[in-house]
Amino acid sequence: MTLTEIQSNFKVWRENRRHPKERIPQELWQQVASVYSSYPPSVICRELGLSGQQLKAAMQGDGFASFVPTPTPSTAREEGPVCELSLERLGARLTVKAPMSAFEIVLSKLAGHMPC
């Protein structure tokens, strides 16, 4: 999805929303997240009519992050081989280590918070 397509989707949403203070839908934020690393925040804000504060809040956790419990190292040894998943964004890295049996659960938790 391109920034121009997202801009068009924001325009349609703004024209059809019921109330001027209606929150931006999660679907639109997911679209923004899909191009976030491709454009400077100032360009995204200008093109989509967002404030820097709105963009920062949405991209740094408000709705895009969650706590995913993982087994302790002793549990991991009992359950077999350990898998590792590293996510990197804006210079920060999150590494998740979990037994293979728990990895599917971790990925399903993350999937709901990541753009496709």
Instruction: Give pLDDT tens digits along the chain (116 positions).
Output: 899 999 999 999 999 999 988 999 989 999 998 898 889 999 999 999 999 999 988 887 544 444 444 444 544 445 567 777 777 766 667 777 777 777 777 667 666 665 55
59: number of Cβ within 10 Å = 20
As a residue count, the chain comes to 116
Query: DSSP 3-state assignment of 22?
Result: coil
Q: How confident is the model at residue 60, as a pLDDT?
A: 77
Asked if 105 and 85 count as a contact pair (C-beta separation under 8 A), the reply is: no
pTM summary value: 0.54
